[in-house]
Structure 1
């Protein structure tokens, strides 16, 4: 079966999650939000890199773990939506969905506490999250 996104290659795990132009666009956008560069990886190489580099509970490590899972989930969900429901989203819509998943995870009070995120109110009455670096 060809890739449901680009139709340019056979759908493999490496292709759909890393090599496809849709996937690589999402990874690049996600990494650039965090000041990082994404290089096309295979599934195994990416998770070897993640296991070696994203250790501990630093805010960047935690966000990248959540964000990577959100991206993989979004790609798989979009694949199934296109395949089984004949509906599709743009790459921009998919990226918004990823950011919403990350925000939802940070909105959960237990998850915020685990991540060391604390809600505060600024002078204009708007809530924002600060990161407790000792968490």
Structure 2
């Protein structure tokens, strides 16, 4: 896996993120996105209905078939795409990293700015984030480059 993508994914699936279940001073540990279960890393990224909808949108966008509802299933869905340094592999790594980032970002937006999570807008932000990573030298309109990202 590309080193940046691996780092971001490792951080997201580690037990070091300050999710609400780890903040001792909070009485309310429920997920700020869904107001459901206790917010843990696993819940925030894989169980929360908002996060699951985001992963499903990303899965559909990439044309992946596997369900992504745990760290293992996400890695299985992306398995093999990180072998080699092709542009498509790097872009899929960027998708994974951007998704992890944007889930955390909307969680913070809800907590600190009273933002309202909008799955379609989050997926759009992920796509914009990823497309900004595409080197200008790539002809994105070639079918071999485009497949799997549109």
Same fold (TM over 0.5): yes
Give 1 or 2 for the bigger CA radius of gyration. Answer: 1
Structure 2 equivalent of residue 102 of structure 1? 130
Flag the structure with higher strand content. 1
Select 2:138's aligned residue among 87, 102, 118.
118
Cα distance between partner residues in 1 of 2:38 and 2:92: 28
TM-score, normalised by the number of residues in structure 2: 0.65
With 3-12 and 54-63 compared, the bigger mean Cα shift is at: 54-63
List alignment gaps of at least 5 residues for structure 1: 107-111, 120-127
TM-score, normalised by the number of residues in structure 1: 0.72
Select 2:50's aligned residue among 3, 6, 22.
22
List alignment gaps of at least 5 residues for structure 2: 1-28, 146-150
Q: Which gives a bigger RCO, structure 1 or 2 (Cα 8 Å, sep 6+)?
A: 2
Q: CA RMSD in A?
A: 2.3
Summarize the Cα distance change of 1:47–1:56 in structure 2 as closer, same or farther, 3 Å threshold: farther
What SS does structure 1 have at the residue aligned with 2:132? helix
For these two proteins, the number of residue pairs brought into alignment is 114
Cα distance between partner residues in 2 of 1:37 and 1:47: 11
Deviation >4 Å, runs of 4+: none
Give deviations 1:56-106, integer Å, cap 9, x for gaps: 223442222110111111110111111011122411111111111011111
